[in-house]
Amino acid sequence: MISARHAPHEKMAFQLTLRRRGISDQAVLRAMEAIPREAFVEQGDEGYAYRDAALPIACGQTISQPFVVAYMTEQLQLKPYHRVLEIGTGSGYQAAVLSRLARDVVTLERFRFLAERAKSRLAALGCGNVEVLIGDGFDVPDSAGRFDRVIVTAAMEDIPEGLLRHLAPEGLLIAPVGPPSGSQVLVRLRGTGDGFERTNLIGVRFVPALPGIAREM
């Protein structure tokens, strides 16, 4: 349920903003409409949940602005039978949106606090096809297998080979690439059978992806 403090016109404006900025995939728009964004922001920020802006969350991380979430999701070209890997669970919002569009979602988070809180939020919303794991996005275990789609929600200076090994043949990977304090670009890699085809999409600004599992907060 959407909180009563968010009037229908606010949700309508939210959808119109996404459409005006070029989001046209109806399945993505429906998923964005179905997931209550206010359930994923920090207490006290609920009134800003449907603004097209990133918001701070715990552990020095952010919940991405709605347009970026929708754009990255649209660029994944998801099908209902896809298995998706997300690096950087954060609030759990992106994983919730993905859960509406894919068969299974595995999401890795290096902060235990964020992982546990996201797990509770996703369970409360009935996102039973999402598995939240505490782990290192730079060192995904081989046991995780391969994925049709991979999405990274923190900036990497380079996409590690170890992550690419988890991408199925002809799969898609979306990630912000660039230095932590400089310009970053959203990159899409498509498997071609004998390598990867790279497409630079839009300029973005993400918090940096860090290796290892964070110490307890």
Q: Are 144 and 84 in contact (CB under 8 A)?
A: no
Q: From the candidates 3, 24, 64, 91, which is the catalytic residue?
A: 64
User: 204 is written with which tokens?
Assistant: 């973005």
Q: Which residues contact 99 (CB under 8 A, 6 or more apart)?
A: 105, 122, 127, 129, 130
Active site residue 143: no
Between CA 193 and CA 199 the distance in angstroms is 16
- The label of the residue with tokens 């509770």 reads 120
DSSP secondary structure of 144-193: G--EEEEEE-SBBSS--HHHHTTEEEEEEEEEEES-TTS-EEEEEEEE-S
Active site residues: 64
